[in-house]
Chain A
Amino acid sequence: MPKKISRIAIANRGEVAVRIIRACEELGIETVLLHSEVDIGTRAFRLADKTICIGPAATSESYLNIRANVNGALGGGAQAIHPGFGFLSENADFAEACEKAGLIFIGPSPKTTRILGDKVKCKELAKKLGLPLIPGYEGENQSLEVLVNEAEKIGFPLIVKAAAGGGGRGMKVLRSKAECRELIESAQREAQAAFGSSKVFLEKYLDHAKHIEFQIFGDATGRVIHLMDRECSVQRRHQKIIEESLSPSLTQDLRRQMGEAAIAIATQAGYKGAGTVEFLMQDGLFYLLEVNTRLQVEHSVTEMVMGVDLVKAQILTAQEEPVFTAQQMILPRGHSMECRIYAENSYLGGVPSTGILGKVEWPEGPGRRFEYGFEEGDEITPFYDSMIAKVIVWDENRIRTIQKMQRVLKDTVLFGVHTNIPYLLEILSHPEFVQGTMTTGFIGKYFSEPLKQPPLSIEEKEFAEQVLKTVADKAIESQSPSPWNSFWRGV
């Protein structure tokens, strides 16, 4: 039974808030932006039909505050809430609070989120379905004999990590049978000292794997399909930088197997809406990593190659309306890539850059898409994630896509804050990336040091000097300070 939604509250910010507003506009749905105090001078704020301030800058008091979001949505007269990604999007308590308040939560049910969001429960479900998991040992028997035996069964290299710990502490890499006993004993001692428990887990170390994920979608009837794969191996400390679809590394057979695995686990969990099943793929074998029960940042590359609108699909599904009915007609075409633009200084190792945005120019054209939450005059504050925009391109094949992305990034103008564009350009021209053989170790291997800033060329210097002269002459003529400052904005 279709339920008509006429107003949606957006519990998010930045470029995804704008993305959701666009989908709502196209469906004739009004928008209420639930925002923090420092997100008033932003594009989403200006585009939304209504805005409700739900708290101060600190995320715990605003974007992560369940009560404030629910009250804001109700106060704004919304029938549904879209949580975007990050923040409360995968919080089952939030989804439940929305439902209790009579609001439609645009996403999977709290029950589904609780099963797939819990690493242990998700693994159990995967095991039940016979899906491949990263080989490991998490047993209660912690005798050295058993641990060494299990290590040999798993194969080298492998990681031994403290069961009671996290954050990379107490983790050791074992590379051969010879060093097994000694390193496991050492890990147990360290675990005891650091976390009060000597219990350790063993896990195969996939040191040259690719991060491959499948976009899944469960419609209102309970049918789950997948919309092909994305590769996101270019990551810095688990933060994705460049994503693409389709992965250049999957054979037809692997693609089919992984797609079926993704559908299987989502179907079993009663998945509704957009989600992603993540895998690691190494040496022709794949292993389930985790399931993300939300729309992801990189959903855009899937939209480009599949010709779909995932956010509209989410909303229609929440209204119990059919989507993707002609599944056999949805076939991928061409290649798409996304670069996340971070406000950071590439020459200082990625130190965040904040400030008021100056001139911004997005070089529009065929096969180019820009998702951005800020415009000239808006302030990039230090309170949130430093991703300020996404640049997405589509072309007939991967090489052309890379070339187009290089062209687009070179023609993009973003003044006022430093960006990672120089860093992205270096990655895009690296032979391993161009060949498509990069793994999750790519950034660590080649880009762990800050970029070196090349000195100005003679042409650049000449142009800059000329510009300086222009500005100086103009200032003298008009008898006033530099006429090029222009930052007031009517809000």
Chain B
Amino acid sequence: MNTFQMIKGQLWIHFQGRTFIYDGTKKQFGKKAGRKDTAGVLFSPMPGKITKVLKALGDQVHPGEVVLVMEAMKMEYTLKADIAGTIEQVNCQVGDQVVLGKLLIKMKVEVKP
């Protein structure tokens, strides 16, 4: 039921019963900067199947590292960590059919010496 659509440069989102337009930060396209306001949570961007889970509870991740791979509509989709930290929660496993917007991975910001 969670869904989104880009309409004339505006991002319309329907999430958990509420519809809103999201502006986000101005520089979105073309820049894959690690954003500090993302709290290290990965939601599934579309309904699909989890094909690979590359990290486990407690593993360390750095920005850009692939955490899991899913498949939907014959396309493969990689979800990457964009913070430096540790895996706090793995909420899915290989083979799971997930809905759009499902919380898959939670990461804790942590820089181990």
Contact = CB atoms under 8 A, between A and B. Distances in A.
A467 interface: yes
A469 B37 CA distance: 13
11 contacts: A358-B5, A415-B12, A416-B7, A459-B15, A463-B2, A464-B24, A466-B43, A467-B22, A468-B28, A472-B29, A476-B32
Closest 3 pairs (CB-CB, A-B):
A410-B17, A464-B22, A484-B6
Nearest to A454: B18
A415 B19 contact: yes
A462 B42 CA distance: 8
Nearest to A485: B6
A413 B19 contact: yes
Contacts of B18: 410, 422, 460
A255 B31 CA distance: 67
A465 B38 contact: yes
Contacts of B43: 462-463, 466
Contacts of A460: 13, 15-16, 18, 20
A416 B6 CA distance: 9
Given A359-B5, A465-B24, A484-B6, A459 B16 contact: yes
Interface of A: 356, 358-359, 361, 363, 410-411, 413-416, 419, 421-422, 456, 458-473, 475-476, 482, 484-485
Interface in B1-59: 1-9, 11-20, 22, 24, 28-32, 35, 37-39, 41-43, 45
Given A415-B19, A464-B15, A467-B22, 20 more contacts: A356-B7, A359-B5, A363-B1, A413-B1, A413-B14, A419-B19, A456-B22, A458-B39, A460-B18, A464-B11, A464-B13, A464-B22, A465-B24, A468-B11, A469-B82, A470-B45, A471-B6, A476-B32, A482-B6, A484-B5
Interface residues of B, number: 36
B12 A473 contact: no
Given A414-B19, A466-B43, A358 B12 contact: yes
Which of A356, A460, A469 is packed against the most chain B CB atoms within 10 Å? A469
A329 to B, nearest CB: 39
Nearest to B39: A462
A415 B14 contact: yes
B50 to A, nearest CB: 16
B4 to A, nearest CB: 5
A385 to B, nearest CB: 22
Nearest to B17: A410
B39 A471 contact: no
Contacts of A421: 19
A461 B5 CA distance: 16
B3 to A, nearest CB: 6
Given A415-B19, A468-B28, A359 B101 contact: no
Contacts, number: 96
Contacts of A458: 39
Contacts of A419: 19
Contacts of A416: 7, 12
Contacts of A469: 32, 82
A416 B28 CA distance: 21
Contacts of B14: 413, 415
Contacts of B22: 456, 464, 467-468
B73 to A, nearest CB: 12
B13 A463 contact: yes
Contacts of B9: 482
Nearest to A406: B17
B107 to A, nearest CB: 11
A460 to B, nearest CB: 5
A201 B14 CA distance: 52
A355 to B, nearest CB: 8
Contacts of B4: 467
A485 B19 contact: no
A476 to B, nearest CB: 7
Contacts of A462: 38-39, 41, 43
A415 B7 contact: yes
A461 to B, nearest CB: 7
A60 B101 CA distance: 48
Contacts of A363: 1
A376 to B, nearest CB: 9
B11 to A, nearest CB: 6
A463 B15 contact: yes
A98 B85 CA distance: 76
A402 B67 CA distance: 43
Contacts of B38: 462, 465-466
Interface string B68-88: 000000000000001000000
Nearest to B22: A464
Contacts of B12: 358-359, 415-416
Contact of A467 (B7, B37, B45): B45
Nearest to B35: A465
A389 to B, nearest CB: 14
A462 to B, nearest CB: 5
B45 A466 contact: yes
B78 to A, nearest CB: 9
A475 B17 contact: no
Contacts of A422: 18
A471 B11 contact: yes
B37 A461 contact: yes
Contact of A485 (B2, B7, B20): B7
Contacts of B45: 466-467, 470
Contacts of A411: 1, 17
Nearest to A453: B20
